[in-house]
């Protein structure tokens, strides 16, 4: 059986998702939504940097919702819950890296749950961080340990490989003063996802966390001009961010999620570095015995490679793509990793022989 998929948006994740959908033996791309007028009407394959697919991108939401499709991979820059609700009510499942990993019981989630059942559809949030690194893999690794006392999931990334200048400057607030960066919307924006990740880990481990969760935001400034995707960052301006989200159990930290986003490792104050292991993701369980897993390969080998095709972006997209068949077979409603079977990738298709 082949599942018919609509790709919603063609930014970095969207382009990688189109490539992934085309390469997946159980999926077929049948539609593509785009935000900008300049992309309207262009072939989705062309937008993804591959051969034409015969699927024209459109800005017409009604036309896409009228299509015969099984799933929408929803990945614009920012999520619009009203649009997601419309998609679900149209009877199409939704897989997205933008939230709803393990939803809080707020009004928005209640409305989406109703929409799922009205359309007989499923909503699943996934990705990397938040996503697999902060939820699936900590729970998987915890199976090797007993008497767990602390869970940590942490990212170490060089943002010079992230080809999204508007996001870097206007949302992440690199290149701003420390005072301006202190107002970064990323603190609240990312907390929505990471706090859900923390709640999922706690649920998987069978504990009830203290009600209050905490957030810490630290910055390092440039001591000399640093080249970046937004141009040189001058001395005194923010060139590195460290965000920490944490929840306690009985007043003691129990789950810690952290991102380390640097514009390289030179000329920073404080002099932060990634350490000898370089860019990576880490999952660590303190228990009996303690377990630590380090993920390499999800970062590009060079800045040039990352600006062309960032592996972390591709991995985010593929975690969504590979989930689609499982989500299409799930019961209606908002479904997390705890509700789905093990999601796996697919083998490469055999090359034709002459």
The CATH number of the domain where 108 resides is what? 3.40.50.720
Q: Is 292 inside a domain boundary?
A: yes
Q: Is 306 inside a domain boundary?
A: no
**Do 292 and 143 fall into the same domain?**
yes
Kindly indicate the confidence band of residue 78, based on its pLDDT and cuts at 50, 70 and 90. Answer: confident
Q: Is 113 inside a domain boundary?
A: yes
Q: Where are the alpha helices (DSSP H) in 103-258?
A: 107-119, 136-142, 165-170, 178-181, 186-205
**Do 69 and 191 fall into the same domain?**
no
HEC profile of 8-76: ECCCHHHHHHHHHHHHCCCEEEEEEECCCHHHCCCEHHHHCCCCCCCCECECCHHHHHCCCCCEEEECC
Enter the pTM of the model.
Answer: 0.92
**Do 181 and 284 fall into the same domain?**
yes
Across the strands, what pairs with 286? 150
**Do 200 and 333 fall into the same domain?**
no
> What is the pLDDT, as a whole number, of residue 164?
86
Q: Is 141 inside a domain boundary?
A: yes
> What is the pLDDT, as a whole number, of residue 36?
93
User: Does the pLDDT at position 77 exceed 60?
Assistant: yes
Mean per-residue pLDDT, 321-331: 98
User: Does the pLDDT at position 204 exceed 60?
Assistant: yes
pLDDT digits (tens, 9 = 90+) for 266-283: 999 999 999 999 999 999
What are the residues whose beta carbons fall under 8 Å from the beta carbon of 130, sequence distance 6 or more?
101, 190, 193, 194, 196, 197, 257
> What is the pLDDT, as a whole number, of residue 104?
77
**Do 101 and 163 fall into the same domain?**
no
> What is the pLDDT, as a whole number, of residue 351?
62
**Do 157 and 22 fall into the same domain?**
no
Rounded to 5°, the CA angle 7-9-14 comes to: 70
> What is the pLDDT, as a whole number, of residue 353?
57
**Do 229 and 210 fall into the same domain?**
yes
pLDDT digits (tens, 9 = 90+) for 110-137: 999 999 999 999 999 999 999 999 999 9
Give the residue with greater pLDDT, 107 vs 291. Answer: 291
Kindly indicate the confidence band of residue 249, based on its pLDDT and cuts at 50, 70 and 90. Answer: very high
User: Does the pLDDT at position 183 exceed 80?
Assistant: yes
Q: Comparing C-alpha atoms, which of 222, 194, 175 is closest to residue 128?
A: 194
Q: Is 304 inside a domain boundary?
A: no
> How long is the chain?
354
pLDDT > 90 in the chain, percent: 87
Q: Which domain holds residue 76?
A: 3-128+315-339
> What is the pLDDT, as a whole number, of residue 105?
67
**Do 123 and 141 fall into the same domain?**
no
Mean per-residue pLDDT, 227-238: 95
Q: Is 344 inside a domain boundary?
A: no
> What is the pLDDT, as a whole number, of residue 190?
84
**Do 35 and 108 fall into the same domain?**
yes
Q: Is 302 inside a domain boundary?
A: no
User: Does the pLDDT at position 62 exceed 60?
Assistant: yes
**Do 152 and 231 fall into the same domain?**
yes
What are the residues whose beta carbons fall under 8 Å from the beta carbon of 342, sequence distance 6 or more?
none
Give the residue with greater pLDDT, 8 vs 182. Answer: 8
**CATH at residue 263:** 3.30.360
> What is the pLDDT, as a whole number, of residue 167?
86
> How many domains does the structure of the chain reveal?
2
Q: Is 346 inside a domain boundary?
A: no
* Residue 289 buriedness (CB in 10 A; 0-12 / 13-18 / 19+): exposed
| End-to-end Cα spacing for the chain | 28
């Amino acid at each position: 059986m082949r599942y018919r998929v609509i790709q919603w948006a063609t930014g970095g994740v969207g382009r990688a998702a189109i490539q992934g959908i085309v390469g997946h033996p159980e999926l077929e791309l049948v539609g593509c939504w785009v935000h900008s007028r300049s992309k309207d009407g262009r072939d989705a394959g062309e937008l993804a940097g591959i051969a034409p697919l015969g699927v024209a991108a459109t800005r017409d939401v009604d036309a896409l919702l009228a299509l015969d499709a099984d799933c929408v991979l929803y990945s614009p820059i920012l999520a619009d819950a009203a649009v997601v609700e419309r998609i679900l009510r149209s009877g199409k499942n939704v897989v997205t890296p933008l939230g709803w990993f393990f939803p809080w019981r707020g009004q928005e989630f209640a409305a989406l749950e109703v929409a799922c059942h009205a359309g007989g559809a499923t909503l699943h949030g996934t990705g990397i961080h938040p996503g697999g690194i902060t939820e699936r893999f900590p729970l998987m690794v915890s199976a090797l340990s007993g008497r767990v006392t602390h869970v940590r999931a942490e990212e170490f990334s060089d943002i010079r490989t992230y080809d999204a200048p508007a996001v870097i400057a206007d949302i992440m607030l690199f290149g701003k003063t420390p005072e301006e960066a202190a107002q970064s919307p990323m603190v609240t924006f990312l907390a929505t996802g990471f706090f859900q990740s923390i709640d999922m880990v706690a649920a998987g481990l069978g504990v009830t966390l203290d009600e209050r969760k905490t957030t810490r935001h630290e910055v390092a400034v440039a001591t000399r001009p640093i080249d970046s995707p937004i141009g040189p960052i001058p001395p005194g301006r923010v060139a590195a961010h460290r965000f920490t989200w944490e929840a306690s159990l009985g007043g003691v930290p129990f789950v810690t999620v952290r991102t380390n986003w640097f514009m390289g490792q030179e000329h920073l104050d404080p002099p932060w570095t990634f350490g000898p292991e370089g860019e990576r993701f880490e999952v660590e369980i303190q228990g009996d015995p303690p377990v630590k897993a380090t993920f390499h390969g999800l970062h590009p080998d060079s800045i040039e490679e990352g600006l062309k095709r960032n592996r972390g972006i591709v991995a985010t997209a593929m975690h969504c793509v590979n989930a689609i068949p499982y989500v299409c077979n799930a019961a209606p409603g908002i479904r997390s990793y705890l509700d789905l079977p093990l999601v796996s990738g697919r083998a490469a298709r055999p090359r034709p022989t002459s």
